[in-house]
Amino acid sequence: MSLALSLALAVVSTAVIWKGSIWLEDAAEQLAAYYGLPAVVQGAVVAAIGSSFPELSSTVIATFVHGNFELGAAAIVGSAVFNILVIPALSTLAGTESLDADRSVVFKETQFYMVAVAATLVVFSFAVIYFPSPGDSLSGTFTRPLALLLVALYGLYIFIQYLDTRDLREPRVTDANAARLWGTLAVSLLVIVVGVEGLVEAVLDFEESLGIPSFFWGLTVVAIVTSLPDTFVSVRSSQKGADVTSLANVLGSNVFDLLVALPAGVLVAGATPVEFGVAVPMMAALVAATILFFALARTDLALSRREAYALLVAYAAFVGWLLLETAGVTSLIG
């Protein structure tokens, strides 16, 4: 496929993902109201899972269909960095003077997200330690049992959210057509899968045509495109004054990405190679972004406009580092 056709395919696929995500978010939001879910659970679970479906699709398609786990993993980590730095910043700038949080978001959601980051790095380490590749001390095999460890941790997260739902249940909106909403949700998921497949095809063509490694495309292009639904949900929530839902969506999306979307490709494919020299620098960048976000969000339990610009500068530095890695100026990614 020519570069022009690949670019056209990427643009069309992005539009398809965007449209499917809008349908999905509308249906998910109305279903959350129908079942009376509290704001933090609506953002951290319903909106987060819905808006993270593109990332889930990208991992499964890249690993199972194209045999490229590196692209899928890079998309997940890149999406998580984009979510934690760019989306809160845009939500703050799109709202009023600041994006207010509460202790349930800053402590419960952020700290569980930090646990998810640590668990992901531990699982990568287990792959290298217990399932090493012959002749390569920094390469291993990511197996189904290791993937299930992450999924089990997400089960704990859902249980915690269930307890919050039981204790903080909101009044139900009973005039919605639940069957129609579930049908819209199913159609939107199918549309997103089609869009993600086209995007992955385009990115692999970019890699072949331009000679730029797949991890760069995963960390940037695929990550940003698949994060558009998260951006849409959080910015819209901020504009409505639902700051807690906005931030909870970001953190819940990242927890879902790391504990479900990342291992999903492995669960489908059975096992996949993992390069520790690639995984650790990417996870280190995510840890640094997480620490910055937590430090700023904890200040007065809010993000100010000045802090929002600081997050955007940090993301620009992240992309700049990736460009240096691609150009061979730095060599932290092995």
Query: What pLDDT does 272 receive?
Result: 86
333 domain residue, yes or no: no
Please report the pLDDT score of residue 34 as a whole number.
77
- For residue 32, is it within any domain? yes
Six token digits for residue 19: 């449209």
Place of tokens 């012959």: 134
pTM of the entire predicted model: 0.85
Inform me whether the pLDDT recorded for 169 exceeds 70: no
Instruction: Provide the phi-psi class of 100: left if phi over 0, else alpha when psi is between -120 and 50, else beta.
Output: beta
Q: Which of 5-14, 112-121, 162-171, 248-257 has the lowest mean pLDDT?
A: 162-171
Coil, strand or helix at 138? strand
CATH number assigned to the domain comprising residue 311: 1.20.1420.30
- Rounded to whole angstroms, how far apart are CA atoms 100 and 96? 10
pLDDT at residue 172, as a whole number: 63
Predicted confidence (pLDDT) per residue in 218-247, tens digit:
888 888 888 887 787 788 778 877 777 778
Look at the chain and report how many structural domains it folds into. 1
pLDDT at 40: 56
Q: Write the DSSP assignment of 178-210 as a string of letters.
A: HHHHHHHHHHHHHHHHHHHHHHHHHHHHHHHHH
The confidence band for 136, taking pLDDT boundaries of 50, 70 and 90, is: confident
- The answer to the question of residue 218 being in a domain is yes
Is there a domain that residue 213 lies in? yes
Does 97 score more than 60 pLDDT?
Answer: yes
Distance CA 332, CA 115 (A): 24
State how far the Cα of 44 lies from the Cα of 157, in Å rounded to an integer.
10
Question: Is residue 332 in a domain?
Answer: no
Confidence check: pLDDT of 43 > 60: no
How far lies 5's CA from each of 199, 212, 233, 280, in Å?
Answer: 12, 18, 30, 34
Q: Which residues pair with 132 in a beta bridge?
A: 140
Q: Residue 222 corresponds to which amino acid?
A: V
Give a yes or no: residue 72 inside a domain. yes
Question: What mean pLDDT comes out for the span 82-105?
Answer: 84
Please give the share of the chain, as a percent, with pLDDT higher than 90: 23
In a domain, 212, yes or no: yes
Provide the residue range defining the domain that includes 218.
3-168+178-327
**Which pLDDT tens digit goes with each residue over 26-42?**
787 787 777 776 655 66
Residue 88's pLDDT is 92
Question: Is 173 within the bounds of a domain?
Answer: no
Average pLDDT, integer, range 253-258: 88
pLDDT at 317: 96
Q: What is the DSSP string of 12-46?
A: HHHHHHHHHHHHHHHHHHHHHHHTT--HHHIIIII
Mean pLDDT score, 302-329: 92
